[in-house]
Amino acid sequence: MSVIVGRSRVATKYGIVAASQPLAARAGVQILERGGNAVDAAIATNAVMGLVEPQSNGIGGDLFAIVYEAKIGTLHGLNACGWAPAGLTPALLKSRGLTQMPQFGIHTVTVPGAVSGWEALRAKLGSLPMADLLAPAIFYADEGFPVSDVIAAHWASLADKVAAEFNAAQTYLPNGRAPRPGELFTNHDLARSLRLIAAHGASGFYEGPTADAILTISKEKSGTMTAADLREFQPEWVEPISTTYRGWTVYELPPNTQGIAALMMLNVMEQFPLGEYGFHSARALHVMIEAKKLAYADMLRYVGDTRFGEPPVAAMLDKAHARQRARRIGAGDAARDVQPSVFDGLTTSAGQDTIYLSVIDRDGNIVSLIQSIYEGFGTAIVPPGTGFALHNRGALFTLDQAHPNALAPRKRPLHTIIPGFMQRGDTHIGFGIMGGFNQAQAHAQFVANIVDYGMDIQQALEAGRFTKGTFGGADVNVEALVPESVRDELTALGHDVTTVPPRTGTFGHGQAVMSDGSGVHFGASEPRHDGAAIPEAPKIM
């Protein structure tokens, strides 16, 4: 098994926080050490992440979470994805000369759901006041923190985008440039925004000065956001969807997320003996890549906001359907045009900047949480005096009114960000790997690494991956950690292989935590980013 492992798992009897920036993970651990639980620690970690990795997440974006409540063995799903403003319609965009959904700009701004997600998590499952949870982020925002290496490089690559927006440049380009690795960065405006949330909860964001600032910038840029759009938004508790994979149960959140594509991939992959084929064998990778194409074709065709129409989830996850789709995978050629399935009663029609974190506490509760402003710095539109950028998540809508993901007032778009969870017996794993439409295919590869190849959670994250960011053709990016001979075999099978150097952001990056029923907890954070899995310290004094 050719797995190059740069790190070992973290193991402890107590809690662990795994995040893509160590200061954020440590902030969550501080909350655990003060008696908080996994939910409390996840909120604190996410709040710091919005400061220290601002191009990828923050209170201007959305949030999803799966929470495992160990005492009663229950999974909770949270969809804190905001809706489109009531005034944002295809007709309005057409009147402004737009014939397709824009990628950036004020018309891609949907209501940011993250803060409502924090409040929902804390109210239902948390134990500490919001002021305690946001204290580390407020401290770092006011006192400054040294920017970490991978984040600094990503930040610098987006400098031109940020410079084009005055408020963003004032916030994120001190001295007219992006901060360098190790350089201190402060964000006093964000500290003020967080203090309002600490004092007033979600209403400190969706009403009052922060809401006023969002509405001001929206009006300046001819947007349609109203006070009612912000004030009336509520997150939704949802039932995770699942499938079985060789004796494990794997969970994702239901539509409007792409999570169903990971489960559909696994259902197709289960039809082939990947373990016998061998890790990083051309046969196994060929099956996975083709399964990706099949699953994504269905996901893109049928997934939208369930409040505007129910996608055929049961039919999409049916094992018989997976067997039928698996028969489309040829042993000797890569498909270049995969059509979606046709289910009874339905007809067919024609970003990758995110953070993922996972937490396990001393009692075995697990939070799998993902949060994003979509593409780098989102829209780069910063409401005046707030210290955060608004996301461009609305870019994922389509203007094709026959499609389930068509833009409509108060509708939520198809969403790329997905937290994952898997279990078998007493073993429970919270995991996630970010990266736009990389995510579902990366989730399926992580699960296969655990189930088919016997890896631990650190090995499963570090193993070389493939990713196919497009939805047609035979192109695929393959990490150089996959042997050259295997990449050559994939090319011979008809795949248009692009080899990408190891440890880049192309394949996303993730974290995982695990309990196995022994009382020992494990954490992992992969070396494609700055992250760490940090254990809680016991009280010794």
Instruction: Give me the count of residues in the chain.
Output: 541
CA 51 to chain centre: 17
Residue 216 has, within 13 A of its CA and on its CB side, a CA count of 13
The structure tokens 């007033």 sit at 200
The count of other CB atoms within 10 Å of the CB of residue 90 is: 18
Please give the Cα distance from 241 to 314 (Å, whole number).
9
Residue 108, sorted as left (phi over 0), alpha (psi -120 to 50) or beta, turns out to be: alpha
- SS3 of 480-491: the string is CCCCHHHHHHHH
Please give the Cα distance from 23 to 25 (Å, whole number).
5
* Nearest Cα residue to 110 out of 436, 407, 402, 401: 407
Per the CB < 8 A criterion, the answer to whether 464 and 280 are in contact is yes
Read off the tokens for 529.
């980013």
Alpha-carbon dihedral of residues 300, 306, 311, 316, nearest 10 degrees?
80
What DSSP line would sit under 78-106, residue for residue?
A: EEEPPPPPTT--HHHHHHTT-SS--SSSG
Structure letter (DSSP) for residue 167: H
Rounded alpha-carbon distances, angstroms, from residue 95 to 13, 99, 110: 60, 9, 19
Please give the Cα distance from 285 to 281 (Å, whole number).
6
Catalytic residue among 45, 257, 354, 467: 354
Q: In what order do the strands lie in the sheet with 427-433?
A: 10-12, 521-525, 510-515, 427-433, 420-424, 248-252, 241-245
Please give the Cα distance from 54 to 417 (Å, whole number).
16
What are the φ/ψ torsions at residue 219 (nearest 5 degrees)?
Answer: -65, -40
Residue 113, sorted as left (phi over 0), alpha (psi -120 to 50) or beta, turns out to be: alpha
Please give the Cα distance from 529 to 515 (Å, whole number).
24
CA 281 to chain centre: 28
The answer to whether residue 354 is catalytic is: yes
Which residues are tagged catalytic?
A: 354
